[in-house]
Structure 1
Amino acid sequence: MADERAWAESAMWWHVYPLGFTGAPIREAEATHPPHRLARIEAWLDHVVELGLNGIALGPIFASSTHGYDTTDLLRVDPRLGDDGDLDRLVAAAHERGIRVLLDGVFNHVGREHPAFQAALDGGPEAALFRLDGGEVAVFEGHEALVALDHSSDATVDLVVEVMDRWLQRGIDGWRLDAAYSVPSAFWARVLPAVRERHPHAWFVGEVIHGDYAEIVQASTMDAVTQYELWQGIWHGIADGNLFELEHAIGRHDDLLATFVPYTFVGNHDVTRIASAIGPDLVPHALAILMTVAGTPAIYAGDELGMLGIKEERVGGDDAVRPEMPATPPSVDALDPAAARILDVTRQLVAVRRRHPWLTRAHTDVVAVANGAIVLRTATVDASIVTALSIGDEQVRLPAADAREVLAGEGATLEGDVVHLAPRGWAVLGG
């Protein structure tokens, strides 16, 4: 990694879907746009700092027809959220607190109402931006409202470089590349080096759900991709009572470290909330894994409060996982016990991660595993962290793998080389 991007080694993100978070209408028309909705995110920045995180990864903020991914102007802040000045203030307020800012770049497709597409339909030169399949306009994964860009076109390369340059000049720190798995790596390999020439500090993470992660990173020149395999291993392993699935995911995760540091998460704006997927009582277990294995971890806004929400495959099926958040963070006293517990655990685990920055690139060994219990040891030559988890209803005795103290946990007692866990107990242990 170039020195200018060394900041990403210690980055931990708070991921926000701005349209939902701020209560902007998604599918309904709005006669007038109340100004400064982005200020509602600014009001949560101190909460981000108190969590111990140092980055905000914003979902789409550019002008669009509905949910933000059907973009109509990549150079304009969505009027439902505010204007350029509102974004400038948010970025400045974040940077004053030592918080980096990542924007969501939707460069695989645009909305059908995008003026360039409408001009292309009329035979304009803008047609060079769009891809045709058998004479028909290509769309993204069957979504007629999302018109695919032509990534073999010089015009598309120029457009994306222009957009990235514009917002990096305004002070952001990097880009999430939406649907990067649908874009040829050769396209990113043309765009990203050109952008880095002007902004060597910029960090790029691609949304990649499936495929050869390491090969994509190498061919595209991206810094990282989203680690969906680990996410799936965490929540499936816990929800299904089969931690062997987690063991398999950890092994594959470790193999990636030879090439890049993955962007890791247990929740985002596209999936069922982790508290709904595995139950609120087991959220600390998922967070303990996230914060003690290698990667660049991200917390989806609200997951630290144990928020519930189930994604459904229908129009509006994402709304439950993208709700409006309060204008200001709730006080601990106002939270129900389950939410207060998860918030406290999140802060503890982020603090552990902050005190052990070497975890970003460290390899993890599975010391012991059964359907309902697992022990992970993440280590370098000089240091180690042991994570012991029980998801069953019985007390368990697990190897402590040379750990000597409990750094965080619930229902855990360390005795010599053994850690005792109460039913559904967990512990993060220091070597």
Structure 2
Amino acid sequence: MADPQWWRDAVVYQIYVRSFADADGDGVGDLEGIRARLGYLELLGVDTLWLTPFYTSPMADHGYDVADPRDVDPVFGDLAAFDRLVADAHEHGLRVTIDLVPNHTSREHEWFRAALDAAPGSPERARYHFRRGRGPDGDEPPNNWQSVFGGPAWTRVQDPDGSPGEWYLHLFAPEQPDLNWTNAEVWADLEKTLRFWLDRDVDGFRIDVAHGMSKPPDLPDTREEREPAGDDERWAPASGEPDPRFDHDDVHGVHRMIRAVLDHYPGRLVMGEVWVGDSSRFSRYVRADELHLGFNFRLVRAPFDAAAVRSAIEQSLGAVADAGSSPGWTLSNHDISRPVTRYGGGEAGLARARAMTLVELALPGMVFLYNGEELGLPDADLPDDVLQDPIWELSGHTRRGRDRSRVPIPWEGSAPGYGFTASDPWLPMPPEYGKLVAAEQLEDTGSTLSLVRRAIELRKTHPGFQGQELEWFGAPTGCLAFRRAGTTLVCALNTSAEIVPLPPGEVILASGPLTDGMLPPDTAAWLA
């Protein structure tokens, strides 16, 4: 716990707080529920927890619409419960990092309520992006920007006298107005929030939409259609055309400020959600005076194909090499389809997800596991009438949103709560989750949970995981093999339809059954 650069090879476990464990029986996960499961997380072997927002919120986007960034929403507990969680996590040898949402606030934030009561041009409105509309009567949005969730990125408000007034910018839901990062009060408030939680002994932050915040002063129109093609392509442009909504150069000043605050608290981490495809622009976020680490989503977006996986790994390593940062690897989070489903579903999808977990955990850098990933959970097939993600409504029911990957964790027992809650869970848990409960997987040496536990243990204890660079080996078509430079542990992956010979060495772990020195399709192995 004393290592000031503990994050360089840490395994981080993301907890979607609503869906992890419910201690008070209301069907929604909470901070006390997490505290009750710390023993499980210690047994799993992870180093660090990342908690999604638990702040005061009307929950239009399940906590990412923050009304008070320095308090706990009653549905999750209170500040005393948070302090107990952090203290107990540290007793278990676990660090705690928390989400920050600096791009926007809730409509219910005191600042935005004041802005609605104030006149155009007022200091209250200057904290957000209020603009006059286009057209003779200002009836059209100020530009053609689209919300990531669907529909226009502008909503019109009434002036205090009741007449149609200005429009405000929201790159996400209308309940999430974007902050104006040219405003000094906005900067000062974030610094206050950072220090508030650092003084409560958190170990770091994950910055939501870290490539957001700053906007071009003239808010120019986009030159191409920006509606995402699907839920897992949230910020992917249709071409290489720059997107004026994101990755504006001035955003780096925000990250330098954040880093300057954290540098007064040695051993604390700041990592960012950076959906930037260009490696040279990505690398700017992890310079020595900005983020310690950025999520690179190339591996998430790579299909289950050895050539695509290798390319994603090489590009991700290259994006941080010149900046001297560590890579951050993830296959899953609360915004995207779970790997089992993304890789084809059923037995094949599970086999591929297990294989990719071994690939990910063999790589140098920080690895992120999303709660339930260690159980091999697939996406849940939910009926229309239970969907709660704002994407469902804002897209006109054309995109089902992210609820499918946010269904609560099955711990033990039977429906409807499977040990997550004593009542009905906030999203229904499908019957197939009953076969994947954590309690039973802990007793099964062949389970996905047992595989992940063993892989994390080896990652921490085997000398083959010490190198920070990769050496690639020749491999049959549809396969790849690599090892950490200067070590003897090899990771091999077969994404082809043919069984192939294993590389030389003693198998120490495999994602599926092996036969006679051969590596079957949809399988990975570690060899020493």
TM-score by length of 2: 0.70
1:375 equivalent in alignment to 2:481: yes
User: Which of the numbers 90, 95, 102 marks the counterpart of 1:100?
Assistant: 95
Structure 2 partner of 1:262: 327
Structure 1 partner of 2:346: none
Question: In structure 2, do the counterparts of structure 1 residues 82 and 253 end up closer, same or farther at CA, with 3 Å as the change threshold?
Answer: same
User: Which of the numbers 342, 346, 366 marks the counterpart of 2:472?
Assistant: 366
Question: In structure 2, do the counterparts of structure 1 residues 337 and 394 end up closer, same or farther at CA, with 3 Å as the change threshold?
Answer: farther
Shift of residue 112, structure 1, vs aligned partner: 1.3
Structure 2 partner of 1:9: 8
1:199 equivalent in alignment to 2:268: no
Is the CA contact 1:283–1:342 (under 8 Å) kept in the aligned structure 2?
Answer: no
Does 79-88 or 276-285 show the bigger shift?
276-285
Shift of residue 132, structure 1, vs aligned partner: 3.2
Taking the aligned partners of 1:281 and 1:218, their CA distance within structure 2 comes to 37
Structure 1 partner of 2:157: none
Q: Which one has a larger percent strand, Structure 1 or Structure 2?
A: 1
Does 333-342 or 55-64 show the bigger shift?
333-342
Shift of residue 56, structure 1, vs aligned partner: 0.6
Shift of residue 35, structure 1, vs aligned partner: 11
Instruction: Give the secondary-structure state (helix, strand or coil) at the position aligned to 2:67.
Output: strand
Looking at CA atoms only, which structure, 1 or 2, has the larger radius of gyration? 2
Counterpart of 1:287, as a letter, is: T
User: Which of the numbers 385, 396, 405 marks the counterpart of 2:506?
Assistant: 405
1:343 equivalent in alignment to 2:449: yes
Question: In structure 2, do the counterparts of structure 1 residues 119 and 300 end up closer, same or farther at CA, with 3 Å as the change threshold?
Answer: same
Aligned length: 407
Instruction: Give the secondary-structure state (helix, strand or coil) at the position aligned to 2:341.
Output: helix
Does 328-337 or 177-186 show the bigger shift?
328-337
**What aligned pairs does 1:179-198 form with structure 2 within 5 A after superposition?**
179-183=209-213, 184-198=250-264
Shift of residue 166, structure 1, vs aligned partner: 0.2
User: Which of the numbers 124, 127, 132 marks the counterpart of 2:125?
Assistant: 127
Structure 1 partner of 2:18: 19
Shift of residue 246, structure 1, vs aligned partner: 1.1
Q: Deviations over 1:40-75 (max 9, x none)?
A: 111221111111111110011111111111111111
Does 3-12 or 37-46 show the bigger shift?
3-12
Shift of residue 98, structure 1, vs aligned partner: 0.7
Q: Deviations over 1:131-179 (max 9, x none)?
A: 3345755434252121111112211111001001001101110000000
Question: In structure 2, do the counterparts of structure 1 residues 213 and 289 end up closer, same or farther at CA, with 3 Å as the change threshold?
Answer: same
Structure 2 partner of 1:420: 518
Counterpart of 2:449, as a letter, is: L
User: Percent sequence identity over matched residues?
Assistant: 28
Structure 2 partner of 1:174: 204
User: Which of the numbers 250, 259, 263 marks the counterpart of 2:313?
Assistant: 250
Instruction: Give the secondary-structure state (helix, strand or coil) at the position aligned to 1:325.
Output: coil
Structure 2 partner of 1:114: 109
Taking the aligned partners of 1:40 and 1:166, their CA distance within structure 2 comes to 23
Shift of residue 293, structure 1, vs aligned partner: 1.0
Q: Which one has a larger percent helix, Structure 1 or Structure 2?
A: 1
Instruction: Give the secondary-structure state (helix, strand or coil) at the position aligned to 1:269.
Output: coil
Instruction: Give the secondary-structure state (helix, strand or coil) at the position aligned to 1:111.
Output: coil
Question: In structure 2, do the counterparts of structure 1 residues 95 and 359 end up closer, same or farther at CA, with 3 Å as the change threshold?
Answer: same
Taking the aligned partners of 1:219 and 1:206, their CA distance within structure 2 comes to 14
Runs of 4+ in 1 over 6 A off after TM superposition: 32-36, 336-339
Is the CA contact 2:352–2:523 (under 8 Å) kept in the aligned structure 1?
Answer: no
Task: In structure 2, list runs of 5 or more residues that go unmatched.
Answer: 134-165, 214-249, 344-348, 382-388, 394-399, 412-418, 421-435
Structure 2 partner of 1:28: none
Shift of residue 366, structure 1, vs aligned partner: 3.1
Instruction: Give the secondary-structure state (helix, strand or coil) at the position aligned to 1:56.
Output: strand
**What aligned pairs does 1:153-302 form with structure 2 within 5 A after superposition?**
153-183=183-213, 184-211=250-277, 212-218=281-287, 221-233=290-302, 236=303, 238=304, 242-255=305-318, 256-259=320-323, 260-278=325-343, 279-302=349-372
* Cα RMSD for the two superposed structures: 3.1
Does 84-93 or 40-49 show the bigger shift?
40-49
Question: In structure 2, do the counterparts of structure 1 residues 413 and 261 end up closer, same or farther at CA, with 3 Å as the change threshold?
Answer: farther
Shift of residue 369, structure 1, vs aligned partner: 4.5
Question: In structure 2, do the counterparts of structure 1 residues 65 and 57 end up closer, same or farther at CA, with 3 Å as the change threshold?
Answer: same
Q: Deviations over 1:252-311 (max 9, x none)?
A: 122123421122111111110111112112222111111011220011010100111169
Q: Deviations over 1:212-253 (max 9, x none)?
A: 2211222861101102012222xx1x1xxx321112112112
Instruction: Give the secondary-structure state (helix, strand or coil) at the position aligned to 2:13.
Output: strand
Taking the aligned partners of 1:245 and 1:35, their CA distance within structure 2 comes to 38
Question: In structure 2, do the counterparts of structure 1 residues 57 and 108 end up closer, same or farther at CA, with 3 Å as the change threshold?
Answer: same
Question: In structure 2, do the counterparts of structure 1 residues 190 and 293 end up closer, same or farther at CA, with 3 Å as the change threshold?
Answer: closer
Instruction: Give the secondary-structure state (helix, strand or coil) at the position aligned to 1:5.
Output: coil
Structure 2 partner of 1:62: 55
